[in-house]
């Protein structure tokens, strides 16, 4: 077999284990979202392989799936950028199973209004009311440099998981971000309108109150995450030790203390920096400056870790995040792999595939018709992928049998490129 065939065989030989309470996306319907005009997808509870050349919509499909859990788009902070070019409205319709309940979710995007969310046909007042209904773990190539990225990327990583795991945290974070935005505007406009500074104290006190709760949530989550990540890392590199430090406001001596103690320390710190904040015209103190520093054998992984070590750290964090979701409610989250396996060496590919022994998985992989075995290539048509028995090709030394049902494909009328959407079930 050629390398392309082996890559597919490695992906498709995955055998899920049985779960008492599986969580999975049944279907997605996209209207005017990214490059999709009006397309529907039905997913298998186990493995879904999404193949296509660059620019065909693989990442867009995974982004839509992730948005149904996080209520945001992972490639942009502006939700209106998810709209198809020339359109004013976009829709994501999702049907999924979670906690043994069938749930429908609708996300409505607009160029002029905030995103609207409907759960089972009922509009939700806040984004936080829908976060965590569906849980996902997204792993994309950009995440491989999470360790060396800025503190904002690691905060976003923590917040994404915590918002799904703890609905109260999502509400706290939503309120804190709103207060932070308003206070920043006050500081920026205070030079022209000095009277605005009269509201500085009120906003600072409220941010300290909410910020204390955020710090406690992050501290407890980081402790669990680092413990789980260290165990995963030890399986890859047993001679190295992964650890980490949750870093928050310097005046907070113990992030595990009660909320009142942390709040008082935050208030003392922000009031001592009032003059500096007014001069800088920005909020200099609070959990919006937090960071998670990762260490290898006691040294900074960002500064001293090799490229392989940095990637292994990120792998460990993502897989640990997935395990924490399962420990929380007995369901594995939907795992979204956006062409990340192609960025890993064979050893790390094997490690990832061996760790995802349960739950729904969606794998985006760049490929065209040449990526399929030569003997099967002629059977692929523009609008239909007929049933094939890929037993010899897909098992790759395992005792499983993979069957591919007939799956409608969608075409792009103005191009000869294709996006292949494969659904398959692995049977004993």
User: CA-CA distance, 366 to 415, in Å (whole number)?
Assistant: 17
User: Which residues on adjacent β-strands are paired with residue 28?
Assistant: 41, 94
Checking DSSP bridges between strand 361-366 and strand 47-52, what pairing results, if any?
parallel
353-398 per-position pLDDT tens digit: 888 767 898 988 775 444 333 333 323 222 232 322 222 222 222 2
Residue 142 has a pLDDT of 85
Q: What does the pLDDT read at residue 401?
A: 32
Fold of 149-330: Glutathione S-transferase Yfyf (Class Pi); Chain A, domain 2 (1.20.1050)
Query: Is residue 132 packed enough to be buried (19+ CB in 10 Å), middle (13-18) or exposed (0-12)?
Result: buried
Q: What is the pLDDT of residues 177-227, one digit of tens each?
A: 999 999 999 999 998 999 999 999 999 999 999 999 999 999 999 999 999
247-278 tens-digit pLDDT: 999 999 999 999 999 999 999 999 999 999 99
Q: Quick check: pTM over 0.75?
A: yes
Q: Indicate if the pLDDT at residue 97 is higher than 70.
A: yes
Instruction: Dig out the tokens for 357 from the structure.
Output: 């022994």
- Name the segment(s) of the chain with CATH classification 1.20.1050.90: 149-330
Coil/strand/helix, residue 345: coil
Residue, of 180 and 99, whose pLDDT is higher = 180
Q: What is the model's pLDDT at position 398?
A: 27
Maximal C-alpha separation, the chain:
76
Q: How far is residue 409's CA from residue 386's CA, in Å, rounded to a whole number? A: 10
Instruction: Give the DSSP letter of residue 84.
Output: P
Q: What is the DSSP string of 146-194?
A: TTTS-HHHHHHHHHHHHHHH-HHHHHHHHHHHHHHHHHHHHHHHTTT-G
Domain 1-135+331-428 has CATH 3.40.190.10: no
């Amino acid at each position: 077999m050629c390398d392309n065939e082996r890559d597919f065989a490695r992906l498709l030989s995955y055998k899920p284990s049985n779960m008492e309470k599986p969580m999975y996306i049944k279907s997605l319907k996209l209207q005017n979202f990214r490059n999709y005009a009006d397309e529907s997808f039905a997913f298998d509870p186990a493995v879904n392989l999404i193949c296509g050349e660059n620019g065909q919509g693989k990442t867009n499909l995974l982004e839509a799936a992730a948005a149904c859990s996080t209520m945001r788009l992972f490639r942009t902070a502006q939700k209106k950028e998810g709209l198809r070019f020339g359109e004013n409205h976009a829709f994501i319709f999702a049907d999924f199973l979670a906690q043994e309940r069938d749930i429908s979710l609708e996300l409505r995007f607009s160029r002029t209004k905030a995103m609207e969310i409907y759960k089972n046909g009922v509009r939700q007042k806040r984004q936080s009311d829908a976060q965590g209904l569906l849980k996902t773990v997204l792993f994309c190539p950009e995440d491989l440099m999470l360790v060396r990225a800025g503190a904002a990327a690691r905060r976003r990583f923590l917040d994404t998981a915590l918002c799904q795991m703890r609905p109260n945290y999502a509400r706290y974070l939503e309120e804190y971000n709103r207060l932070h935005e308003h206070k920043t505007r006050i500081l920026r406009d205070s030079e022209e309108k000095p009277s605005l500074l009269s509201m500085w104290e009120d906003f600072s006190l409220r941010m300290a109150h909410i910020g204390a709760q955020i710090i406690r949530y992050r501290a407890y989550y980081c402790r669990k995450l680092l413990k789980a990540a260290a165990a995963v890392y030890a399986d890859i590199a047993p001679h190295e030790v992964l650890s980490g430090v949750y870093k928050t406001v310097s005046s907070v001596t113990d992030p595990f203390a009660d909320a009142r103690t942390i709040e008082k320390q935050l208030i003392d710190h922000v009031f001592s920096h009032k003059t500096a904040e007014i001069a800088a015209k920005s909020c200099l103190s609070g959990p919006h400056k937090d960071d998670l520093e990762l260490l290898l054998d006691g040294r900074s992984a960002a500064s001293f870790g090799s490229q392989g070590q940095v990637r292994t750290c990120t792998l460990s964090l993502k897989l640990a995040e997935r395990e924490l979701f399962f420990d929380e409610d007995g369901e594995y989250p939907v795992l979204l792999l956006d062409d990340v396996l192609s960025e890993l060496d064979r050893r790390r590919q094997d490690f990832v595939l061996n760790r995802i022994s349960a739950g729904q998985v969606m794998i985006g992989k760049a490929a065209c018709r040449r990526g399929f075995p030569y003997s099967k290539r002629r059977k692929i048509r523009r609008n239909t992928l007929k049933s094939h028995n890929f037993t010899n090709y897909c098992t790759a030394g395992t005792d499983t049998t993979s069957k591919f049902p007939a799956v409608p494909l969608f075409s792009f009328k103005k191009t000869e490129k294709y996006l292949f959407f494969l659904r398959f079930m692995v049977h004993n």
